[in-house]
Amino acid sequence: MACNKKITTRNLFHECVLPNKLEDISIGDLIYSLVRFVYEARKVDGTNYPSETLYSMIIIIQGFLATCGKEYQFLEDHCFKAV
């Protein structure tokens, strides 16, 4: 997958409109959304998830996208370094 270096930085107040299906999201909005997800994800009691749990959640999302033909490597592709 070729990554565009221009999309690795986003304004944290950027409002992205997500498609109805996760597999239809643009790579720029995917990066933005994953960063926001990791930043905002909390347990029901408001405490942070352990890093291992967040890692697992991200890998599950990556696996789902792979079943849709999107072969992203969140931990290896340079465009996902913000995640």
pLDDT in tens, 25-63: 888 888 888 888 889 999 999 999 999 999 999 999 999
In the block, residue with structure tokens 């789902």: 64
Note if the pTM is more than 0.75. Answer: no
Looking at the chain, how many residues does it have? Answer: 83
Backbone angles phi, psi at 7, to 5 degrees: -95, 5
* Range(s) of the domain holding residue 34: 5-11+19-80
Q: How many domains does the chain have?
A: 1
CA distance 80 to 69: 18
